[in-house]
Structure 1
């Protein structure tokens, strides 16, 4: 019997790459989209309606998968949104939106699927976070905070659910060539702002990193490895060597030395 997988945000980017890879490997895959009827291309996996900001659509999507397959083995919390800008100049509604999508939504998905996994006494949840979640990055601080918070929530929930036969883990990608920049909220680079030049320069650097990012299939292969690991680790990282090594440096260097490295990297 093929394992049943639910992937949030499965219609594009990393989520689509994971969905296609796992489908090729013989899994029964359900991707999600807020508006699946708008997806024009032919996908090799099923697509159900789910908006991580709407708990009712989460419950309906999970119920649909369980009704169709009588089980739910793997959930990949991939849906996410980017945000850039000086924190001082970022509207409160945009701050709420990024936390709703990147933190509160994945928590609601986990709450929705845990009863079924507990009933099966088996299940795997993979939360897609970000290497950016391990450090406060200039002009990406809100994104870093939302992904870092999900890392910590995962650590806690692993311990809370250890007796249920459920495994929960984090997978933190670095920069990958996806369309995340297109859907990302950018605080405007405004004339007269004290942040105009440093933020504008940093934004260009961020966009260059995304454009030159790795192949999302690398993330899909790592997901497949995790699925086939009997006892997954708490944290996984996938990306360029220096992106992963930056996490090691944060642990071993004095805070101000590490901060200086970031400032030099972003030319601030």
Structure 2
């Protein structure tokens, strides 16, 4: 029997790329979307799931288990971007971002664990971000939500190891997807003390995404992880300098690294 893979956020972007790639490799892939009916030409099966709705998460997992009898791999891919000066981002948008990027993945994990425990096997891959390794200016909320998921994974791994269930993170850099279209960004407010610098950084962020690598790189890394008997805790995928920035943060004094970021963003 082919392995059953559940991918949250499987209708577009990186999730769609992963789903189609794994389907071509012979996996039985289920993607999720809040509105599956909007994607009648999807090359993978889509089930309804909203990561901010625990009942919809549980219903989606029940559908997959009832149709296949198993869930071998969960890829927690659904996520949302957010930009803006932290001072000016409405609290409800901050909470919404954490609901999608942190609490949602935790609740999906909780929903699949009983099935994986019953199988005495399973692999959970949490898609985080290289941005989660550092506090980036005007992306602080996104950095925090993705960084929190990295740490949650480290703790979760140790709690579930006795059940023969593995968990890992994969942190992508910038990839050419439609994430900018679905991202919340605080408006560049006329007269704001952040107007000029935030406006410039926002343009640079969008340019980086538009010049990003092919999401196929992430799909190939996911495939490699699935076929690794004992996956590492953390994986990074993206441009060399993006991955190397994590190394620099580890070895450089804090203020030296901060200066590098300020220079990069021309702040």
Which TM-score applies when normalising by structure 1?
A: 0.99
Name the residue aligned to 1:179.
Answer: 178
User: Does residue 90 of structure 1 match 2:51?
Assistant: no
- The Cα shift of 1:44 comes to 2.1
Structure 1: where are the runs of 5+ without partners? none
Deviation at 1:231, TM superposition (A): 0.3
SS class of match (2:2):
coil
- Alignment map for 1:83-162 (pairs within 5 Å): 83-162=82-161
Q: 2:139 and 2:22 mapped to 1: Cα distance?
A: 31
Match for residue 23 of structure 1? 23
Find the aligned partners of 2:60 and 2:118 in 1 and give their Cα distance.
18
5 Å matches for 1:31-50? 31-40=31-40, 42-50=41-49
Residue 9 of structure 2 aligns to a residue whose secondary structure is coil
Describe how 1:1-268 pairs up with structure 2 within 5 A: 1-40=1-40, 42-268=41-267
**1:53-111 residue CA offsets vs partner (Å, 9 max, x unmatched):** 00000000001000000111000000000000000000001000100000000000000
- Structure 2: how far apart are the matches of 1:214 and 1:54? 32
| Equivalent position SS for 1:170 | strand
| Poorly superposed stretches of 4+, deviation over 4 Å | none
CA distance in 1, matches of 2:206, 2:35: 27
Question: Could you say what secondary structure the match of 2:46 adopts?
Answer: strand
In 1, distance between residues paired with 2:189 and 2:42?
41
Alpha-carbon shift at residue 43 of structure 1 (Å): 2.0
> Which SS does the other structure have where 1:161 is aligned?
helix
Task: State the alpha-carbon separation in 2 of the partners of residues 157 and 163 from structure 1.
Answer: 11
Q: What do the CA deviations read for 1:191-219 (whole angstroms, capped 9, x no partner)? A: 11000001000000000000000000100
Per-residue CA deviation, residues 159-199 of structure 1 (Å, 9 max, x unaligned), is: 00000000000000000000000000010001110000010
Q: What is the distance in 1 between the residues matched to 2:90 and 2:42?
A: 36
Aligned partners of 1:45, 1:94: CA distance in 2, in Å? Answer: 31
CA distance in 2, matches of 1:175, 1:84: 15
CA distance in 2, matches of 1:129, 1:43: 24
Whole-angstrom CA distance in 2 between matches of 1:16 and 1:34: 14
- What is the RMSD computed on CA atoms of the aligned residues? 0.4
Deviates more, 1:31-40 or 1:76-85: 31-40
